[in-house]
Amino acid sequence: MVAIVAYAFIFLLTLLFSYIFIKKNTGIRSEEPHDHEKSVNLPPGSLGWPYIGETLQLYSQDPNTFFSARQKRYGKIFKTHILGCPCVMLASPEAAKFVLVTQAHLFKPTYPKSKERLIGPTALFFHQGDYHIRLRKLVQGSLSLDAIRNLVPHIDATAASVTSESWGTGKVINTFHEMKKFSFEVGILAIFGHLESRYKEELKKNYMVVDKGYNSFPINIPGTPYKKALLARKRLRQILGDIIHERKEKRLPEKDLLGCLMSSIKQGGQVLSDDQIADNIIGVFFAAQDTTASVMTWIIKYLHHDPKLLEHVKAEQNAIRISNEQGNQPLSWAQTRNMPITYKVVLESLRMASIISFVFREATVDVEYKGYLIPKGWKVMPLFRNIHHNPEFFADPQKFDLSRFEVAPKPNTFMPFGSGVHACPGNELAKLELLIMIHNLVTKFRWEIEGSQSGIEYSPFPVPANGLPVKFWRLE
């Protein structure tokens, strides 16, 4: 009995200190609704316990279960209280459009301060208004279809290089970790073009430390993952500063992301500062790596579970390989535009996996929607996963079915890259690298999933358990 009481006391203390750290390090408003807010028509739902809210319920179960159970009980608009802040959850296409598109000016992007410190406060996705518009145009320009078409043979070579290192002998590999290597290399290509090996290795080494600490508890104490990440972030800034300085000395016009950021001129003749350039480069790394790697990991699992579909994809890709002299010639841009079956696999995987399950916004004023009040300062979360898995829009939503994309989905029902002014500007690059990696996989390897094939981890993006351990064998 004494032991139980002691454990309970420790648990409560942990919750208290967790709340204090969250409040201090995230900048999240943790107050309960004001008295006048309680008297108006707030959305249905529960705010849970004082301070703690429903955080324990969210993190003690599958997040999908948490959100879907509340949607079933309260409807497509409901309130809750997680991580120290009151939230309104929105699970309809109309609501997502309202927050992200038509009335986006009423809702600002919001991130914990601890995460802003690791990426950089001037990164694109922390802002709105003129600065955001200007930066978005620069990033979109460097990642547009015209800009990335010349990357196809280089991404193809990168995919071949990554899969040749330890694949093909039946050795068990962690698929997610391998795909992170691939997406990092593609990020290097898009940002810097061809980068010297010494810079690339230093960037990779320090970025991995930052990445590891990004979702750790934000305690600024020596030895903690978060403190190590802060130190690695400083080193990243120094390395990027050296690369920027070297690029300035050479004065070579480059069309990669770094070149676009460096050549940008503000009104009045001011260029972006080196800090602004570094923040946005690190932001692109964060936006591009884990998300794309997660989707590719799910694609490998989905294809493994559907042998008939896998054969159709193989037939499509082997025809391309034969036309390229049995793979002795690299893929072309035109070929990546003519993979109809494989492209549908990518789209259905994006829907099924819903890597970006939701986004955080914050109401900048009191907002009324569908007769409900969203108070100023409350977080607003459009639930993409709930929409993607809603049988009203996708029949039998847990079934992997390519026929869903024979016609375009209804507006605002399929948003794997977000929507509106803050939608992912690199979505075309992400789809391109997925197509190229699938081509390399199905034409060169067969594979078997090792161990349990069920279970999902959230880190924070959904990934098959243990990163999907797989044995790969090279085809003859």
Which residues sit in the known binding site for heme?
424
Which of 240, 288, 280 is closest to 137 using CA atoms?
280
Q: How far apart are CA 180 and CA 165, in angstroms?
A: 14
Report how far residue 379's alpha carbon sits from residue 134's, in angstroms, rounded to the nearest whole number.
Answer: 26
Whether the CB-CB separation of 324 and 439 falls below 8 Å is answered with no
Please name the residue that has the structure tokens 């301070």. Answer: 51
- Strands 85-90, 379-382: pairing kind: parallel
**End-to-end Cα separation, the chain, in angstroms:** 64
Going by C-alpha positions, the residue among 260, 299, 302 that lies closest to residue 433 is 299
Q: What is the DSSP string of 394-435?
A: SSSTTS--GGGGSSPPPTTS--BTB-GGGS-TTHHHHHHHHH
Beta strands in 162-204 (DSSP E): 169-174
AA letter at 271: V
Output DSSP code: residue 83.
T
Cβ atoms of 156 and 148 closer than 8 Å? no
Q: Which residues are documented as binding site?
A: 424
Q: Tell me the CA distances in angstroms from 83 to 19, 114, 331, 369, 469, one per residue in order.
A: 8, 14, 46, 24, 32
**Three-state SS sequence of 232-284:** HHHHHHHHHHHHHHHHHHHCCCCCCHHHHHHHCECCCCCECCHHHHHHHHHHH
| Segment holding 9, helix H or strand E | helix 2-26
CA pair distance 307, 282, nearest whole angstrom: 39
Per DSSP, the residues of 108-162 read EE---HHHHHHH-TTSGGG--SHHHHHHHHHHHHHTSHHHHGGGHHHHHHHHHHH
Judge whether 339 and 316 are in contact, CB under 8 Å: yes
